[in-house]
Amino acid sequence: MRTLRFGIEIETIGQTRARVAAAIQSVVGGTVQHVGTPYCYDPYDVIAEDGRRWRVMADSSLSAEKARQAEVVSPILRYEDIETLQEVIRAVRRAGARVDTSCGIHVHVDAARFDATALRNLVKIVNKQERLIEHALGISDARRARWCRGVDADFLAKIEKDRPSSLEEMNRAWYGYHNNSPHHYDSTRYRGVNLHNVWFRGTVEYRWFESTLHAGKVKAYIQFALALSAKAINARASSSRRRDFNPATAKYDFRVFLLKLGLIGDEFKTARLHLLARLNGSTAWKGERRDTARPTGRRTADGRRGGQARATSPVARPQADVGRLQGAETRTDCRDGGWTSPEEEAMYEKLTRARSGDPLTHLYFAYGSNLDGAQMRRRCPSARLVGAAILDGYRLGFAGRSASWGGAVATVVRDREGRVPGLVWAVSADDLERLDRCEGHPFAYRRKRLLVDTGEARRRRVHVYVKDDAEQALPTEAYLGVIWRAYRRHGFDEQGLSLALGGER
């Protein structure tokens, strides 16, 4: 998304075009020219010091007299220009411009990297999430009915049936005929995602956004449009099946969608804040919140309380040990979300008896935050990377709640059609014990011996930590970011990660 070029139109009222142009000049430098023609727009041009042109023009759709209509049209911008754009917006606001319900924002993304497949993907992704998008962006009924209508059902049916393979075929599907000379005022442009501009001016136009002079919100809108575009360009295929809108879980559902678009980590924290602000529900839980339930009894290694230790644990603990552990409060943070009390530490010494003369005799399969080499070597100094592997018959999931990460953590779930990519590490017996403590074996996770495919003639048996019977939940951006970056670094198939966040096959 950071390599996509874009432009933006911001409609304002309440100040003259000359004053707005001067405000822009105060940021970008250069000169202001009153072009004046065509008269209906009476434009002012700001030729910045870098030679790019910012235009301020009238727009008859705005609810103000012509003298105080000022639509700001940016030049072609790059991702690194967003900070300059934000300064322009702040300057325009200080100059006295304002917005009302007649104003909108249009984000244009360079269509040069969109082929027919990317455009099909975009339409289908938007159709699937459209109700969520409309509620998240607060699109009014009036705008939805006139200026930014939803995906056209007939157009969607055409591209689903015919699967256009060229831009010419997409053109024919969009207009209903081959339109080789599109004009600006074509009626098909009034869609939330306007493909008319692909053939008119070489951009994909997003018309959803109600205008604002809040620089942070504008940045969030741009990042959303760029991330959505990048997803469509890079996806091999997409589903168009319309998603049911549930107001009670809307915030969780849309956050999952944003994470799938790659809006993860601190860089996009403000974008998520603005894009989720209008929605109801919890960002962490899909159903009733479980992180605020009244605690009873002890806390286990995955954040659960009150007699919730796994009945399926391979080690039966004496009742006296259970009672002793219920009073333990002190924690040892193991970075990846597992933690133990001092008394549990003593129990682990009794539970783990494996010893070997070979210092790297154990193979461990990492699929969560231990995909990060730096973290793995901090926790297991002896660790040596063996290579990538696939765990067949399981799928990736997120469940429970980690005290140190503040959200759900990864697990693997039995699924006949599932495949989980990961890394195989060779570790010593002492480091395997350290892993047991940090993963919370056998209480938060159970350590199992499973077969993985390493691409060799036969599969290899490895240690895998599995969280049984835990409820599905959403991880924090920090935790998910560790896994996401590892997937990108090692070239893993991201479909399983997408499915774990609520996507479809």
Q: Which of 178, 209, 235 is the last residue before a domain boundary? A: 235
pLDDT value of position 285: 67
Q: How far apart are CA 61 and CA 332, in angstroms?
A: 62
Residue 442: what pLDDT? 86
The answer as to whether 376 is a domain residue is yes
Q: Where is pLDDT greater, at 462 or 285? A: 462
Give a yes or no: residue 352 inside a domain: yes
Query: Is 346's pLDDT higher than 70?
Result: no
* Same-domain check for residues 355 and 494: yes
Name the range with the highest mean pLDDT among 8-22, 351-365, 471-485.
8-22
Please tell me the least confidently modeled range out of 102-106, 215-219, 227-231, 359-363.
Answer: 359-363
Q: Is residue 193 part of a domain?
A: yes
pLDDT at 353: 37
Residues in contact with 288: Cβ distance below 8 Å, sequence separation at least 6, in sequence order? none
Identify which of 79-93, 369-383, 428-442 has the greatest average pLDDT. Answer: 79-93
User: Three-state SS for 419?
Assistant: strand
The whole-number pLDDT of residue 270 equals: 92
Asked if residue 230 and residue 357 are part of one domain, the reply reads no
Is residue 336 domain-shared with residue 229, that is, in the same domain? Answer: no
Structural domain count, the chain: 2
Query: In the predicted model, is pLDDT for residue 502 greater than 80?
Result: no
**pLDDT on residue 503:** 54
Confidence of residue 336 (pLDDT cuts 50, 70, 90): very low
CATH number at residue 374: 3.10.490.10
Q: Is the pLDDT of residue 329 over 70?
A: no
* Cβ atoms of residues 409 and 466 within 8 Å: no
Give the pLDDT confidence score for residue 142 in this predicted structure: 84
Check residue 125 and give its pLDDT: 96
> Does residue 384 form part of some domain?
yes
| The two structure tokens encoding residue 25 | 């000049």
Considering the domain boundaries, does residue 262 fall inside one?
no
- Compute the average pLDDT of residues 393-403: 89
- How does DSSP classify residue 111? G
* Same-domain pairing of 336 and 224: no
Determine how many CB atoms are found less than 10 A away from the CB of residue 149.
16
- Whether residue 223 is found in the same domain as residue 345: no
Domain boundary (178, 201, 235) is at: 235
Residue 242 domain-assigned? no
- Rounded CA-CA distance 373/291 in Å is 30
pLDDT score at 287: 58
Across the chain, what does the average pLDDT equal? 84
| pLDDT for res 53 | 97
DSSP string, 343-366: HHHHHHHHH-----SSTT-EEEEE
Q: Is the pLDDT of residue 284 over 80?
A: no
pLDDT of residue 157: 96
Q: Which of 331, 169, 267, 175 is nearest to 484 (CA)?
A: 267
Question: Residue 310 pLDDT more than 60?
Answer: no
Q: Please indicate, yes or no, whether the overall pTM of this predicted structure exceeds 0.75.
A: no
R_g over Cα of the chain: 27
Query: Residue 322 domain-assigned?
Result: no
d(CA 16, CA 24) in angstroms, rounded, equals 13
Confidence of residue 473 (pLDDT cuts 50, 70, 90): confident
| pLDDT > 70 in the chain, percent | 84
Neighbours of 169 (CB within 10 A): 16
- Residue 341: pLDDT above 60? no
pLDDT computed for residue 102 by the predictor: 92
Q: How confident is the model at residue 80 (pLDDT cuts 50, 70, 90)?
A: very high
**Candidate from 152-161, 256-265, 364-373 with smallest mean pLDDT:** 256-265
Percent of the chain with pLDDT over 90: 60
Task: Report how far residue 199's alpha carbon sits from residue 192's, in angstroms, rounded to the nearest whole number.
Answer: 17
Q: What's the confidence (pLDDT) of residue 401?
A: 84
336 and 222 co-located in one domain: no
Nearest to 337 by CA among 309, 369, 293, 306: 369
Are residues 477 and 363 part of one domain? yes
Same domain, 347 and 230: no
How, if at all, do strands 384-399 and 409-427 pair?
antiparallel
Q: Range of 56's domain?
A: 6-235
Quick: pLDDT tens for 433-453.
Answer: 999 988 888 888 999 999 999
- State whether the Cα torsion 465-488-220-140 is positive or negative: negative
Lowest mean pLDDT among 30-39, 276-285, 302-311: 302-311
Q: 340: closest CA among 433, 411, 408, 441? A: 441
Span of 91-105, 110-124, 318-332, 363-377 with lowest mean pLDDT: 318-332
- State mean pLDDT over 121-149: 93
Containing H/E element for 474? none
Query: 228: part of which helix (H) or strand (E)?
Result: helix 215-234
Choosing from 200, 235, 270, the residue where a domain stops is: 235
Taking a C-beta distance cutoff of 8 angstroms, is the pair 335, 378 a contact?
yes
Spell out where 400-466 has E strands.
Answer: 409-427, 446-452, 460-466
- Of residues 225 and 476, which shows the higher confidence score? 225
pLDDT band at 130 (very low <50, low <70, confident <90, very high): very high
Q: Is the pLDDT of residue 159 over 80?
A: yes
**pLDDT computed for residue 143 by the predictor:** 85
Asked if residue 241 belongs to a domain, the reply is no
Tokens linked to 214: 């809040």
Say if CB 30 and CB 75 are below 8 A apart.
Answer: no
- Is the pLDDT reported for residue 326 higher than 70? no
pLDDT band at 359 (very low <50, low <70, confident <90, very high): low
